[in-house]
Chain A
C-alpha cells in the first residue's frame, strides 16, 4: 500500500472518514458563503474596500476550497470532489448566461448603471479614479465568475441534485438579494434600481433566470454529488 492509498484509507473510510467529509463540506460551504458576492455588498456599504476584502477573505477562501478539493481527491470523497468540480463548471456556464442578458441590457437598453465586472475590477485594483485597464478588467471578470461559482457551490452543498427545480427560486432569490443589497444604491440606481425604472429589475431577474436555467440543467446532468445538508427528498 503506497502513501496515497494509506492516507486515502485513513481519511476516507469509516465513521471518522464520514465525519471528516461532512466537516470538509461545512468548511467548503463557509468558504463559498463568505467570499462571494457578499463582499461586493459589504464594500459598497462602506465597511471595507473590495481590494482589502479580496486579499483578506476571497484569496484565503479560494485556497481553502483548493485544499478541500485536493483532500477530497486523496481521501476518496468522490461526492465532495464532484460537487466542487460541478460547482466550478456550472458556475462558469451559468455566469456566462447571466452576463449575456446583462450585456444586452446594458448595451442595447441602457437598463444597467454600468458594467459590473469592470466596476468590480477597478474596485479590486483600487483604480476607480484612474479607470479600468487590462489587469483590472481581467480581475473584475475573474471575481464576477468566482461569485457565480460560489453561488452554485452553495446550492450544490445545500440541495445537491435532489430537486433540480429549486435552481429557479434559488436564482431569483440571489437576484433579489442583489437588488436590495447596497450595490445598486451605491451605483446611484437606488434600491431595486428604482432610479432607472423597472428595466433594471427586469434585466436582473431575466439574467438570474438564465443563471437558474443553467444551474437546473447542470444539476440534472450531475451524478453522485453526495448527501446535501438540507433534508429534502430525492435522488442523490
Chain B
C-alpha cells in the first residue's frame, strides 16, 4: 500500500513537472502583444496607418486576409496584416545581418475578434530579432518602443 502511494506521488510530481515544462515552452516563443480598439475595423486601420507614419515608419505592404479567405467561404468581419518598416532601419539591419530579412518588415495584424471588437497585435520585435541573431536584439529593443507607441495610438 505504501509503495502504491509512493508511486502515485511520483506520477503526480512527474505530471506537474511535465505541465510546467509545457507551460514554459509555450511562453518561450515571442510574446504576442495586442490591444482592443474602441473604434471600428476601418477606423482602426486608418489610425494604425497614421500612427505608423507619426512614429517614423512606413506601411510597406498589406495582406487582406479577410478578402483572401473569403474565397474559401470563410467570412471574417475584418482581418488584415500590415508589413511595417523603413528604408534606413532596414538598410542598417541588413548590413548587420542579412538574416534580418526573416523578420523584417515587422508585421502588425488587425482583426475583429469573437466579441466583435477590433484588435491590433504583433509579436514583440526584440524577441523576433534575438531569435535571428543576438546582434540584432538591441535594434529590436528600439523597435519594441516604437511598436508600443504605434499600438497605443492605433487603439486609442
Please report A residues at the B interface, Cβ cutoff 8 Å.
44-47, 113-114, 119, 128-129, 182, 185-190, 195-196
Contact = CB atoms under 8 A, between A and B. Distances in A.
Main secondary structure of the interface of B (DSSP, over half): helix
A186 B56 contact: yes
Interface of B: 49-54, 56-61, 83, 86-91
Contacts of A195: 88
Listed from nearest, the 3 A-B pairs whose CB atoms lie closest are A188-B88, A188-B86, A46-B53
Contacts of A119: 87
Contacts of A190: 56
A46 B49 contact: yes
Contacts of B53: 44-46, 182, 185-186
Given A46-B49, A46-B52, A113 B60 contact: no
Main secondary structure of the interface of A (DSSP, over half): loop
Contacts of A196: 88
B83 A186 contact: no
A109 to B, nearest CB: 15
B50 A113 contact: no
A198 to B, nearest CB: 16
A222 B54 CA distance: 42
B56 to A, nearest CB: 5
A174 B86 CA distance: 24
Nearest to A187: B87
Contact of A186 (B58, B61, B90): B58
Contacts of B86: 186-188
B88 A189 contact: yes
Given A45-B53, A182-B53, A187 B61 contact: no
Contacts of B91: 113
Nearest to B63: A129
